[in-house]
Amino acid sequence: MSAPRIVVGVSGGVDSSVAALRLVQQGEPVAGLFMQNWADDGSGECRAEEDRRDAVAVCGKLGIPFHFRDFSSEYWAGVFEHFLAEYAAGRTPNPDVLCNREVKFKHFLDAARELGAERIATGHYARIDQHGGQWRLLRGADRSKDQSYFLHQLGQEQLAATLFPIGELEKTDLRRIAREAGLPTHAKKDSTGICFIGERDFRQFLGHYLPAREGEIRDPQDRPIARHPGVFYFTLGQREGLNIGGVRGRPAAPWYVVGKDVANNILYVDQDHDSPWLQSARLLTEDAHWVAGSAPGRVFECTAQTRYRQPDEPCTVTVQDDGRLSVRFDRPQRAVTPGQSLVLYDGQSCLGGAVIASTDAPLERRLGNPFSSLETT
C-alpha cells in the first residue's frame, strides 16, 4: 500500500469525520490516525474507547487506512503536569492550547511523517492561507465555532504542513454533509471539556492530584463570609460551587469569586456580577508566541480575546524587551484570569498570544502581583 499524502487526525467526532470525507472527495491519498492522549485511570469516565470505535467506523465507511498512536505519556509530561502545577499555583490553565502545541501539532505531525505523509489535517474550525510569503492562521468561517484561539501557538512550520478542511463550513452545513454521506458520527453530540475529566465532577477529579486545604472565604474588605475546600478549585468570576448560604446583613444575591490569595489560602468573593474588584484595564503576560515568527511591531493596536468565544476587544500591545507583553484595553475587562491565554487578532488573522501572568485588578494589586513593577503603556 502506498504512503498517504495526508494523515487526518480522526477523533471519533463529526468534525474530523467530515474533514476526512472532504479530502477523500478531493481524491487525496488519505489515512486516518486516532490519538489516545489519556491513559485509563480506572474511572471509566473518559470516552476514548467509544471515540476510537467511532473513528474506526468512519475510516471503514470512507475506505481509508486506520492508524492508532498512544500519546498518553507525552500528554502527561507536556500537558497534564503543567495543568496541575498551574492549579496548585492558584492559576487557571488552558490545557487545549498546550495539547495542540505539544501533541496534535508535534507528536501527531511526527507520526504522520513516519507514515510517509506530507501533511496532516484536523477537524478544527480555522483556516490557513498565505499572504506576503508567510502562512497565516485565520478564524473559522463559523464565528461561533472558531477555534483559532486554541491554535495560536502554531508557527510557520506547523501551518505549512497542516490542512483544516472544514474551516470554511458552518456547523449546520457540516452536520448535513455528514448525514448525507452516511457517516456514523453525523448525529454524535459534540464533546465538551477535557477528556481526562469527562463527565466527572471537576473538584473531585482535581482532588485526586491536589489534596484539598480548607480555608476562609472573605469579602474584599476582609470580613469572613464562609469556608472553602481549596482556593485552586475556583476561578475568577465563578459563581457555582461556592455554597454560601444566607449571610447576616447581606442581601440574598449570588456571590462571585473576585480574587485568590494562594499564599494565605483565602478566597475573595463579592455579590456584584460586574464587581469593580473583577475589572482590569491592563495585563502582563509571559513570553509571547507569534504565528509569523515575530511581533508586528514594538507597540501596536489590535483586538484580543482573554477567553474562548469572547467578543473582540480593542487594545494596545507593548512588547517588552524580554518578550513579555504589556496590554492596555480600550475599556475595562471582567474576570481576566492569570493562566488563561491572551490571543491577539488583526481582523480575521490570528497574530499569536501568550499566557496571562497578572492584571491591574484591585485585589491582584493589593496582594502584590508584579504588575505595578513594570512600565506599561
Q: Which residues are catalytic?
A: 99, 195
Angle made by CA atoms 286, 344, 235, in degrees to the nearest 5: 60
Amino acid, single-letter form, for residue 6: I
Beta strands in 148-241 (DSSP E): 162-163, 215-218, 224-228
The DSSP output letter for 83 is H
What's the CA gap between 208 and 152, in Å, rounded? 31
The C-alpha atoms of residue 284 and residue 355 are separated, in whole angstroms, by 9
- First-to-last CA distance in the chain? 59
Where would I find the beta strands (DSSP E) of 279-346?
279-287, 289-290, 299-305, 313-319, 324-334, 341-346
CA neighbor of 4 nearest in space, from 121, 116, 113, 106: 116
Cβ-Cβ contacts under 8 Å for 207 (sequence gap 6 or more)? 230
CA atoms within 13 A on the CB side of 217: 22
Nearest by Cα to 79 from 54, 96, 60, 58: 96
